[in-house]
Amino acid sequence: MDKVIRIGTRESQLALWQANLVKDLLTAQGFSTVLVPIKSDGDIDLVTPLYEIGVQGIFTKSLDLALLNDRIDIAVHSYKDVPTQLPKGLINAAILERGPVKDLLVYKHDTQFLEDSTYVANIATSSIRRKAQWLRRYPQHQLHNLRGNVNTRLQKLASENWDAAIFAAAGLERIGVRPPESMILDWMLPAPAQGAIVVACREDDTFCREALTPLNHADTALCTGIEREFLRYLLGGCTTPISAYAYIQEGELYFEGNLCNLDGTLSLTVSHQLPVAKTAGLGTSAAKEILAQGGDAIIEEIKHVQR
């Protein structure tokens, strides 16, 4: 009898879209699959700001436990939600080809408020990274916490007296809910691995590891690996405004990494262009450059504020 691969997923529309994408890819290879929806702590508590929850792995922990307890065989995650240190016994078996990477501003009426330096706009996001970058550009604006899945956040924006909210473009575009009243924030550097989907499984599950191998996209795996190496070396998570983006063009890898303090008044950036064959250790060396520029002081300041 054929083994049925049990695919663990969160229950949001976006998570189910991502899990169904993996399901379709495995089905096309001839595997039998079934979806197993599982609630995460991040889906249950929609009030507490992410950085107050002890956020590392908040959206992945429940699926990790289900994997370790053999309730599911594989788990599908937004890669940017996955901690850089995986639980013992689990591996990231496939990173799918990356989707849209950038952040997106969804606005209520128009974007004229962005040109008016005297107007105090109300902008919503739960991301400490987006808040820091936004305040660096628009220090007069008021930032508000916005939690929940994509649809919940869009509804909240509609009901609150806010001017706009910031989303990952991939989340809205994948499930077809990007409003016409939106614009890509080209100037905002994304979270490490934003726009990428990862599939995890048990390290000793050779059947699933082999099934997932053809789903792995080498360029995406390389780029997101460098971004996450940068994040890991800086000891960052959702509690630190760390951004990183790597992409490949004509055999060259382009990388940009950034660390901000919480209000965006201090910002350190590093950028590199290297042949793909010479990118080993780039995430670590870039992080060391950030620390040498004064990044260690920024990280200590953030830790002190959040104690």
Helix, strand, coil percentages in the chain from 3-state DSSP, rounded to 5: 40, 25, 35
In angstroms, the CA 223 to CA 98 distance is 10
- The 8-class DSSP code of residue 102 comes to S
User: Is 81 an annotated catalytic residue?
Assistant: yes
- Alpha carbon 3 to its chain centroid, in Å, reads 32
Q: Which residues contact 182 (CB under 8 A, 6 or more apart)?
A: 104, 105, 106, 107, 172
Q: Which helix or strand (DSSP H or E) is residue 122 part of?
A: strand 122-124
Q: Tell me which of 43, 81, 163, 205 is the catalytic residue.
A: 81
C-alpha dist (Å) from residue 28 to 1, 104, 127: 18, 32, 36
Angle at 289 between CA 284 and CA 293, to 5 degrees: 145
Spell out where the chain has E strands: 4-9, 32-37, 74-78, 90-95, 103-107, 122-124, 142-144, 164-168, 182-185, 197-202, 242-249, 252-260, 267-275
Report which secondary-structure segment, H or E, holds 274: strand 267-275
- From the list 24, 13, 32, the residue with the least C-alpha distance to 73 is 32
Please report, for the chain, how many H helices and E strands are present, in that order: 10, 13
| Catalytic center residues | 81
